């Protein structure tokens, strides 16, 4: 979406066709704006593996590409971004970290 059009009220929306790059307009009487889909992970580029969408790649235990570094919630590759899933994912990653620590020797 590149633009929501209208003067006193919404009358349409302009979007860019991903395949052709062409701008197209759809006439509408209203819009519903969905926010919060872009992970805030720029600072992790080159630190842990990210998907092309910027999500942190984790395994079934919340382990990232760096051994001993765990991640959980919406920012990861976990499917379905919902509160109850993120909360459970946090518990899972914490247990994953615990399991990692008890199997790792303490530094000398
Ligand atoms: C508009 C909207 C409506 C939603 N409605 C629902 C709903 O009805 N039901 C439902 O189940 N889910 C809903 N969700 C999804 C739900 O909010 C998320 O699934 C959930 O909040 C994810 O929790 P999280 O802890 O993974 O991430 P977040 O809740 O996003 O928490 C991440 C935290 O990390 C902080 N942070 C980010 N970067 C840094 C940094 N560099 N250093 C330190 N802190 C940082 C952020 O400020 C934030 O507080 C909605 C989401 C949105 C955006």
What average pLDDT does this structure show over 77-99?
Answer: 97
CB of residue 82 inside a 6 A radius of ligand 1? yes
Mutation test residue for ligand 1: of 86, 92, 94, the one with most atoms within 8 Å of CB: 86
Query: What is the Cα–Cα distance from 85 to 33, expressed in whole angstroms?
Result: 23
Q: What is the pLDDT of residues 27-84, one digit of tens each?
A: 999 999 888 789 999 999 999 999 999 999 999 999 999 999 999 999 999 999 999 9
For residue 27, how far is its CA from the centre of ligand 1 (angstroms)?
32
Domains and CATH numbers, the chain: 1-33 (no CATH), 42-102 (3.50.50.60)
Q: CA torsion sign, 88 to 93 to 97 to 103? A: positive
Atom of ligand 1 nearest to the CA of 34: 1
pLDDT higher than 90, residue 9: yes
Mutation test residue for ligand 1: of 33, 39, 40, 41, the one with most atoms within 8 Å of CB: 40
Query: What is the Cα–Cα distance from 108 to 99, expressed in whole angstroms?
Result: 20
């Amino acid at each position: 979406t590149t633009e929501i059009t209208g003067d006193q009220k919404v009358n349409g929306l302009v979007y860019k066709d991903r395949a052709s790059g062409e701008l197209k307009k759809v006439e509408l009487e209203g819009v519903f704006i969905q926010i919060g889909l872009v992970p805030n992970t720029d600072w992790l580029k080159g630190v842990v593996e990210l998907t092309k969408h910027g999500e942190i790649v984790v395994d079934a235990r919340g382990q990232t590409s760096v051994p001993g570094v765990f991640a959980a919630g919406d920012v990861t590759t976990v499917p379905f971004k919902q509160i109850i899933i993120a909360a459970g994912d946090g518990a899972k990653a914490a247990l994953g970290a615990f399991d990692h620590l008890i199997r790792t020797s303490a530094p000398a």
